[in-house]
A and B are shown apart, each in its own frame.
Chain A
Amino acid sequence: MPKYFGYAGRVLRVDLTRSRIKTKPTETNLIMEFIGGRGFNSARLYREVPANVDPLSPENKLMFATGPLVGTAFPLGARFNVSAKSPLTGILGDSNAGGHFAAEMKFAGYDQIIIEGRSPKPCLIFIRDQETQILDAAHLVGKDVYETTRIIRKDLDRQVQVATVGPAAENLVLYSGIFVNLARPAARTGMGTVMASKNLKAIALEGTGSVKVADSGAFWRIVEKVEEETYAHPQYWPRRIMGTTRILSLADNLGFLPTRHFTSATFEHAAKVSGERLAREYNVKNRACYSCIVPCSRFYVVREGDYAGLYGEGPEYEALSSFTARVGNSNLNLALKAVDLANKLGLDAITTAECIAWAMELYETGELSKKETDGLELNWGNGKTILELIERIAYRKGFGDLLADGVRRAAEKLGKGKEIAFHVKGLELIQADPRGLKGYGLGYAVSSRGADHLRSEPFLELSDDPDEGMKKFGIPEATLRLAHRGKGRLVRYFEDWCAVVDSLEICKNLAENMELLPLKRAAEITEAVTGFHFAEGSMSKIGERIVNLERAFLVRQGITRKDDNLPPRFLNEPLPNGNSKGSVFEIEPMLNEYYEERGWDSNGIPKTRKLRELHLEYAIKDLKRTDVKVRKKRNLKN
């Protein structure tokens, strides 16, 4: 094996059909073109999972990858991406999680783990340094996330890191996640479902290996600078005290808090379910991902009231907002119980809440009757129903079975509620109303995994400072959150940055939102750690390359401009209240601007010139074919 700095230097491939385990060196060209993490996964998926693969078939491949800084003392988190073709959306599936799994994967000696095929019976992969075993997992079938983790640690080693799926995944609920450290899911796009479809219940790993740094002088110089900036940052204490839950009050104040299924942008009970209240009355301590100096995760204990005695880690803003404002629930204890239940059963909280909120809106407007919901009363904030539905979804019971395929399919099957099924490309919207945040909205529309903010997270528009927009993008409106102009350039810039941060597997909250890892510094630290030459320009090229290759993956699956859209409510109904009142979303001009910035044609397909410029020649022929098809169809119409 080649000796690398930063990288573990190995890629592990486990074929579950034939019980074959192979190790190969991490390819240098992959490193130079895609860095690691998300870049590795997207690059390999593009080559190895063609358009006709059924996401739940043995032919789909599930990939875990981490980055070169992970396992070192670089203090901004240590994450991993898990990717496959998504059973929920049919396009690129990809999710990211923190905790301690990624660092352990490096110590075990792997930059990427690829799972292929399907095991004939339930199994567990146990990796201890260079030794990988496929173990029987019959005793873990049907066990929840917490129990599975506990049993594996009892059987193998107390401190082993476990990535597992819950019963929801085993029942092939299409939005099941993969959970590490109990409450840290790679939740989006149904990666847990893919894992369960391979009869793989969990991956447990531990390692005694090391991560070496090429230039330790430069490494510590950069680390000390980052530490200094972090501790002095105005967001340091708010994040330490509340983590992302601080956003709930902020979203309510600015008027983009999705309330009662996006029928309101403020929640009258926001203060009762806020991060501030959690910090005051529930949190007992902070927790952090490996080597991170901002311990933004919180451990809570419910001391009184409903579910007194409940305790756990989290929740983050998305899950908290999911089971409070989005479903109209003002009982914080109940929300904590709901998040705990979703974690335990292995569900994506965001999608689960969208499915429930969608059904609630239909019920409240009289379109859905009690007969159709198996007697469940789906009025806003009905706690009993929320908990019951989470269970029924996870076990695909009755009405829960309908919701278990995600909101797009549920609306199709039910034959109603299609206009208010809030998803893009099959992935349910997160907790920020795009009418109050235009850059985020464009991000949802064009993201390579569907309606999600983590592909771009253009937080600068929250500054509402035109000088910032002028300075950075040459367009003052770019950083005004309610303006439409300049958002193409804004989103493009942030998408490229996000792709780099995801490939280094550093935390976006710190790298991006706190601006601790601009591309220039990302290049410097990567060079110091790996010894490979990276410059600011090559970093942004890598980001652009990843975004374009992911787009090519989508185009190959038939995605074009028509799919880069938002649900009609956001385009037609002005926000009824709050500090973004009256705002609607105008998608077409924003798309035009974005495609132009990207070097894509007016149909959203990367131009040959752009692909060639990014060394993505192998994608050209796939896209040409789509081009031709589109043109032919148009000709027929004419």
Chain B
Amino acid sequence: MKRIIVDVDRCSGCRLCEAVCSFAHENLFRSSASRITVVKEDAFGFDLPVMCWHCSRCLPMETCPSKALKRNPEGLICASEECIGCGKCVETCLVGAIKLHPERHTPLICDQCGGKPICVRKCPTKALTYSETNVQRPKLPVKVLEETLRKWRIIA
């Protein structure tokens, strides 16, 4: 399936993706309500956009107490009306791709903007691309950080 793929070396950490995502979904600018979140470690100049990969095996879906997370016909995970806003999914997602809407308290999960992700279109450094991939699970952010620091020879 098509997924939003991140090239961590290109990401400048500008968070424009958060801004345009929130506008596309909420009609206002609000990083806390975006479906994509840039994880940062200023000390290492590290910036990693994180969003739902729609993994083939999804722990939040399996452990949701109200079975509110479902997969749509395109294979995308989304929250249904049964959601009680408990936030369990936020904790169980291994890459930290889910956050709760600050007021509605429902999970914010990337919907790929119906096949035309605005974050990909607006990314100034082309760190985000939208393409077909068979990889079923993204790398954990901490792993990406480790690899980056090794590549830069900051750690051995």
Residues of chain A whose beta carbon lies under 8 Å from any beta carbon of chain B: 71-73, 75, 100, 103, 107, 146, 149-150, 159, 181-183, 207-213, 216, 284-295, 297, 299, 301, 303, 309, 311-313
Between A and B, 8 residue pairs with Cβ closer than 8 Å are: A103-B15, A107-B32, A149-B42, A150-B43, A182-B43, A288-B14, A293-B124, A299-B45
A295 to B45, CA, bound (A): 12
B130 at the interface (CB under 8 A from A): no
Whether A295 and B154, one on each chain, are in contact in the complex, defined by CB atoms closer than 8 angstroms, is no
Q: How far is B30's CA from A505's CA once the two chains are assembled, in angstroms?
A: 18
Tell me the B1-55 residues at the A interface (CB within 8 Å): 9-10, 12-16, 19-20, 22-23, 26-33, 39-40, 42-45, 47
Expressed in whole angstroms, the minimum distance between the Cβ of B78 and any Cβ of chain A is: 22
Closest residue of chain B to A299, judged by CB?
A: B45
Contact (Cβ within 8 A) A72 B19:
yes
The reply to whether B30 and A285 form a contact with Cβ atoms under 8 Å apart is no
Please give, as numbers and ranges, the residues of chain B lying within 8 Å of A210 by CB-CB distance: 22, 26, 28-30, 33
A286 and B12 within 8 A (CB): yes
For A210, give the chain B residue with the smallest CB separation.
B30
Is A73 within 8 A of B16, CB to CB? yes
Contact B153 A301 (CB under 8 A): yes
Going nearest first, the 4 A-B pairs with the smallest beta carbon separation are A299-B45, A295-B12, A210-B30, A288-B14
Q: A149-B42, A292-B12, A313-B42 are in contact. List 5 more A-B contacts (CB 8 A).
A: A210-B28, A216-B23, A285-B12, A303-B153, A311-B45
Contacts of A289 in B (CB 8 A): 14
Q: Given the complex of chains A and B, what is the CA–CA distance between A73 and B15 in angstroms?
A: 9
Q: Are B152 and A75 in contact (CB under 8 A)?
A: no
CA distance A209 to B30 in the complex (A): 6
B16→A208 contact, CB < 8 A: no
**Interface residue B66 (Cβ < 8 Å from any Cβ of A):** no
- The interface residues of chain B lying within 8 Å CB-to-CB of A159 are 39-40
Q: How many residues of B contact A (CB 8 A)?
A: 33
User: Once the chains bind, are A146 and B43 in contact (CB under 8 Å)?
Assistant: yes
Closest partner residue, chain A, to B44 (CB atom): A311
- From B10, B13, B22, residue with most partner A Cβ within 10 Å: B13
In the complex, chain B residues 41-88 whose Cβ is within 8 Å of any chain A Cβ: 42-45, 47
Q: Which of A181, A216, A288 contacts B42 (CB 8 A)?
A: A181
Known: A210-B22, A210-B30. A287 touches B45 (CB 8 A): yes
Partner among B10, B32, B152 whose Cβ is within 8 Å of the Cβ of A207: B32
Closest chain-B Cβ to A268's Cβ sits at a distance in Å of 31
Q: How far is the CA of A150 from the CA of B40 in the complex (A)?
A: 12
Cα separation A15 to B31 with both chains bound (whole Å): 30
CA distance A213 to B102 in the complex (A): 19
Within 8 A of A (CB), among B114-152: 122, 124-125, 152
Q: What residues on B are CB-neighbors of A212 within 8 Å?
A: 28-29
- Provide the residues of chain B in CB contact with A72, threshold 8 Å: 19, 29
User: What's the Cα separation between A291 and B23 when bound, in Å?
Assistant: 13
Which of A103, A211, A213, A288 is B124 in contact with, Cβ under 8 Å? A288
Residues of B at the A interface (CB closer than 8 Å) are: 9-10, 12-16, 19-20, 22-23, 26-33, 39-40, 42-45, 47, 102, 122, 124-125, 152-154
Complex CA gap A150/B44 in Å reads 12
In the complex the two chains form, what is the Cα distance from A213 to B29 in whole Å?
Answer: 8
Contact A291 B26 (CB under 8 A): no
> In the complex, which residues of chain A have a beta carbon less than 8 angstroms from the beta carbon of B153?
301, 303, 309
Partner of A295, one of B9, B14, B122, B152: B14
Which A residues touch B16, using CB under 8 A?
A: 73, 75, 291-293
Least CB separation from A162: chain B residue: B42
| Separation of A309 and B149 alpha carbons in the complex (Å) | 11
Q: How distant is the Cα of A212 from the Cα of B20 in the complex, in angstroms?
A: 12
Contacts of A73 in B (CB 8 A): 16, 19-20, 23, 29, 122
Partner of B14, one of A146, A150, A291, A312: A291
A146 CB contacts on chain B under 8 angstroms: 43
Q: Name A284's contact: one of B12, B40, B124, B152 (CB within 8 Å).
A: B152
Q: How far is the CB of A118 from chain B (nearest CB, A)?
A: 29
Question: For the complex, what is the distance from the CA of A284 to the CA of B32, rounded to whole Å?
Answer: 29
Cβ–Cβ contact A213 & B20, under 8 A: no
Contacting pair A291 B19 (CB below 8 A): yes
Partner of B154, one of A208, A286, A301, A313: A301
Closest residue on chain B to residue A70 by CB atoms: B29
Determine whether the beta carbon of A294 is less than 8 Å from that of B124: yes
B124 CB to nearest chain A CB (Å): 4
Contacts of A294 in B (CB 8 A): 124
Q: Report chain B residues within 8 Å CB of A71.
A: 19, 29
Contacts known (A71-B29, A73-B20); A286 close to B42, Cβ less than 8 A: no
Contacts of B12 in A (CB 8 A): 285-288, 292, 295, 297
Q: CA A312 – CA B45 in complex, angstroms?
A: 7
Across the interface, do A292 and B14 meet the contact criterion of CB distance under 8 Å?
Answer: yes
Q: Residue of A at shortest CB range from B45?
A: A299
Contacts of B26 in A (CB 8 A): 210
Contact of B28 among A211, A286, A287 (CB under 8 A): A211
Looking at the assembled complex, report how far the CB atom of A218 sits from the nearest CB atom of chain B, in whole angstroms: 14
A530 to B5, CA, bound (A): 35
Minimum C-beta distance from A178 to chain B (A): 15
A292 neighbours in B (Cβ, 8 Å)? 12, 14, 16, 124
Contacts of A309 in B (CB 8 A): 153-154
Collect the chain A residues with CB atoms within 8 Å of residue B154's CB: 301, 309, 311
Shortest Cβ distance from B102 into A: residue: A208
Q: Is the CB of B9 within 8 A of A285?
A: yes
- Bound Cα distance A420, B28 (Å): 54
Complex CA–CA separation, A233 to B128 (angstroms):
22
Most buried by A among B12, B20, B26, B43: B12
